[in-house]
Chain A
Amino acid sequence: MAGFSLRTNYCVWPAWVVLVLLLAGCGGGSDQPDPSLEGLRVYRHSTEGTPTSLDPVQAATKYSNLLVINTYDTLYSYRYLARPYELKPNLAASLPEISADGLTYTIRLRKGVRFIDDPAFPNAEGREVVAKDVVYSLQRHFDPATRPQGAWLWQGKIVGIDDWKEAGSDYSQPVEGLRALDSHTLQIKLVKPFPQLAYTLAQGYAAVVPREAVEKYGREFALQPVGSGPFRLESFDTARAVLVPNPDYRWAPVDIYAEGYDPDTQSFSGIEAIHGQLPPFVDRFELAFVQDTSARWNSFTKGNEIQIASLPVELADSVLQSKQPVVLQPEYAARYHVKSDIEAGFVYQSFNMDFPEFGYHPDPIQAERNHALRCAVVKSFDWEARNESFYFGLGAVFPGIIPPVVPEFDPELSRDSVTRDVAGARQLLIDNGWNADNLPELLYGSTGGVRPRQFFEQFRAWLVEIGYPKKKVKLKQFASFGDLNKQWRESRLPYIAVGWGLDYPDAENTLQLFYGPNAAPGSNSSNYNNPEYNALYEQAAVMQPSPERTRIYRRMNQILIDDCVSITGLSRTAIPIWHREVIVYPSSQIIGGYYWPYIALSDGAGGIRQAQTESP
């Protein structure tokens, strides 16, 4: 390069220009509030998942459900602050009138409730919600063209609904058990008593849609909610949803005591400030979908969001001073509120009883050996370690499948089935002739990713401790949850590790997971089929809540524990965390998403921030 002198190397000046431009380009501003939002009360929230469809018939995830129940009306909803969760009328004027035989429900609708204005309606003006809309909305679950996901809630339960589907889902044809008696009265006739019916009418699946909008938007209806709920959707994509209050909603002053306020546990949130006040207290809701933990936390601490659905487990040790009770480190406590929110659901693992290596076997002796093998695996499972490793150590470990969040939970039930007993497990295997050579191969299916593999490795290590050869416990990972789900539904895996979110706070919703007729492809992925259990389920399923029904539920629970069909269970604990300026008592449960209309922002002096602009 001797021919080039430093004095004449102006041919390289573009390099320096580019460098300077790059550095100059770094001078962008930080987060500046959008000037158009100035003066507005904006509430920003983030969740770890993204809703895909906002059509109520497809509101299967809690992310979709959250938006559906806040943009549409359901006949019933849950009281904001009451724990355990309690139903209250929403679009319905009152709780249902139930006939003496429990087969006929008469539901009266509030008058004057209107769908939001939308081009789907004549003159783009929303019309009144009537009983026919409820009939139509429930019928859609039995129309295959809508790709419904909630039909199982009412299938075989409402008189004539299955025949209506069989006949081609013709909306011009009536359904005997689903009728609008007049414009504001709905009648539902049941094949047999279904005490949980009112609960199902509080789910996003049962949200009331206008037929005009469904027909106008076709499949795009899944992205364009046209409801009568407290909010209307302003925008929605894979990163964010923006909602604004529905000005025509039946806003009424909040009575926190009627909503179940408990000053002992809830006063810290400042919720008393909204008592007697007329919502909406916020002018704009922004819901960000942030999958990555660090991005979600960075964004939250910076103030982009003022609430996140749950503290990331990786940060628990650095953010929490104490886990029991949940207390923030002082530097965080000065800025944020936090609460412990036990899951309305649980995680559990089951054997697929269709596999003769572990489950049912025509030879009674082998069947008994299989039972011993299952019980040994149950004894090997260390729920406390699982809780500590993956759930803050805050999860509630409980025996059986009746989780703590439902009223039928039995706190006195023996905890032997969730207490690790390695020696007992080893002895059980020896006593029943199991050894390293004859133990069957156990194939553990999961989705891809690090966390499922960690679950597996931990589980395998426990099995190795009781004498299971490491090479006989194998992992098979699937590309998507859909693929894994397919394996379960087609009964192709001998072992199922899964979670269940409660659709309603009644143990029937979890007990049906082991009801024989619900076997794969139904929700009973373990294909458990015990005649005694089935008979008890059928007996209890038609009973109204009572001590007798609770006794039956608990008996069923004990049968499952004794049969060692499932390794269960643990209700996870979410830790919602929010900036102190927000007045809220949040719930991250699928049945608890009705709290949005009550969210307020503090004025810093014990009151709520008032609107500075004309209320929308």
Chain B
Amino acid sequence: MELLQFSVRKLIAGVPLVIGVTLISFLLMVYFGPDKTFDLLGKNPTAEQIAEVREQLGYNKPFLVRYGEYVRELVTFNFGASESTGEPVTSLLARTIPVSVALALPGFILGNLLGVALGLLAAYYRGGLADKFIMGSAAIGMSISFLIVIIAFQIIFSSSFGLNLFPVRGWDVNSIGDYVSYVTVPTLATVFVALGYNTRFYRSVIVEEMSRDHVRTARAFGVPPAPLFYKLILKNALIPIITRIMFSIPVIIISGSLLLEQYFGIPGVGKATYDAIVTGDQPVLKAVVALTAILLVIVQLLTDILYRAVDPRVSLK
């Protein structure tokens, strides 16, 4: 009951956040975003045709009226159709989000697992050769542009000039084998870059926990390393780890990975969002922004619940 009450309170408290995010985003879209009108006109338009298209796009309506329509769309979750393709926005998201999630998930999981593992190793051997090696590698990973990593990995692993082990591009997934085949190189690229950031973060969290008085005391009392690590260090380090992981989820689900999708020819939501941004396809943008805001509220709620699960001192109030 306490959990339910907390959840309801938290969700209600999230409404102003959603309104704030959508209002500011819509303001930017309307006053600073691309004008779609001339994308939809032919080579030799007349003033009358321009006026017709602007009318259809709703550009002539007052801002508040347009925002009111946005709120209505948000409540009904009906954002209409893409101005570029005519595809219903809900259908576009339903088609592209699963692809982006499937693409990003292995890299996300491996990047974090490996980050924790390497962070642990580095913290464990703090100041030693292993620590220096891992942190040095992390710095290198962070220093190389994701774009360069993608192109280099594509050439090394996928092209006929390299190992030619995986598809260069595409997403023709009909089986687990296909999936592994298509997702491997994007995953390696993601992990390569994410690992640097993750390892540094997790190392600092673990080092901090390892330096606490109760850990030192436990060690003095002769608690073996495994229980010490799992019960005293990792458990207490879970709060920042959960925070980091949970708040990455909306990005993975909604934003996808534009560069991966573009360079590997993967029809995900990242590419769709990017196209919508540069062409001013407001129905798609409105949906993406709204969905991101809603997901953030839900993630906040889940994060709080998880805090409580891993640390009984946290109160759901």
Contact = CB atoms under 8 A, between A and B. Distances in A.
B8 interface: no
Contacts of A106: none
Interface in B144-201: 151, 154-155, 158-161, 164-172, 174, 177, 180-181, 183-184, 187-188, 191
B242 interface: no
B170 A523 contact: no
B166 A28 contact: yes
Interface in B120-158: 120-121, 124-126, 128, 151, 154-155, 158
Nearest to B127: A1
B219 interface: yes
Nearest to A481: B39
A29 B172 CA distance: 14
B77 interface: no
Contacts of A523: 43-44
Interface in A3-60: 3-4, 8-12, 14-16, 18-19, 22, 25-26, 28-32, 34, 36, 52-53, 55, 58, 60
B262 A292 contact: yes
Interface in A466-506: 479-483, 485-486, 489, 503
Contacts of B33: 479
A493 to B, nearest CB: 13
A169 B182 CA distance: 49
B39 A480 contact: yes
Contacts of A485: 38-39
B271 interface: yes
Contacts of B36: 482
B43 A295 contact: no
B47 to A, nearest CB: 6
Nearest to B167: A31
Contacts of B236: none
A551 interface: no
Nearest to B91: A220
Nearest to A523: B44
A289 B265 contact: yes
A237 interface: yes
Contacts of B38: 482-483, 485-486, 489
Interface string B245-281: 0000000000000000011111100011001001110
A113 interface: no
Interface residues of B, number: 83
A304 B85 contact: no
B41 interface: yes
Contacts of B47: 521
Interface stretch (B18-26, B68-76, B110-118, B299-307): B110-118
Nearest to B44: A152
A114 interface: no
A238 B34 contact: no
Contact of A288 (B42, B85, B87, B265): B265
B170 A240 contact: yes
A471 to B, nearest CB: 27
A482 B159 CA distance: 35
Contact of A482 (B35, B88, B160, B224): B35
A220 B117 contact: no
Contact of B159 (A36, A155, A240, A298): A298
Nearest to A296: B169
A369 B119 CA distance: 71
Contacts of B264: 295
Interface in A52-99: 52-53, 55, 58, 60
A486 B265 contact: no
A15 B42 contact: no
B39 A34 contact: no
A290 B169 contact: yes
Interface residues of A, number: 74
Contacts of B174: 34, 36
A387 interface: no
A221 interface: yes
A28 B184 contact: yes
A8 B224 contact: yes
Given A289-B265, A480-B34, A147 B40 contact: yes
Contacts of B183: 28
B281 to A, nearest CB: 9
A490 to B, nearest CB: 9
B90 interface: no
Contacts of A18: 110, 113-114, 117
A11 B81 CA distance: 53
B230 interface: yes
Interface of B: 33-47, 49-50, 52-53, 56, 81, 84-88, 95, 106, 110, 113-114, 117-118, 120-121, 124-126, 128, 151, 154-155, 158-161, 164-172, 174, 177, 180-181, 183-184, 187-188, 191, 219, 224-226, 228-230, 262-267, 271-272, 275, 278-280
Given A18-B113, A152-B46, A523-B43, 17 more contacts: A11-B226, A11-B228, A12-B117, A12-B124, A14-B117, A29-B166, A30-B166, A31-B166, A53-B84, A144-B53, A149-B40, A223-B86, A223-B87, A288-B169, A298-B155, A302-B168, A486-B37
Shortest 10 CB-CB contacts between residues of A and residues of B: A15-B117, A219-B86, A149-B42, A152-B44, A222-B86, A482-B39, A11-B229, A298-B159, A485-B38, A523-B44
10 contacts: A3-B219, A12-B117, A18-B113, A26-B165, A60-B42, A149-B43, A220-B87, A302-B159, A480-B280, A521-B50
Interface of A: 1, 3-4, 8-12, 14-16, 18-19, 22, 25-26, 28-32, 34, 36, 52-53, 55, 58, 60, 144-145, 147-152, 155, 218-223, 237-240, 288-292, 294-295, 298-299, 301-304, 479-483, 485-486, 489, 503, 512, 518, 521-523
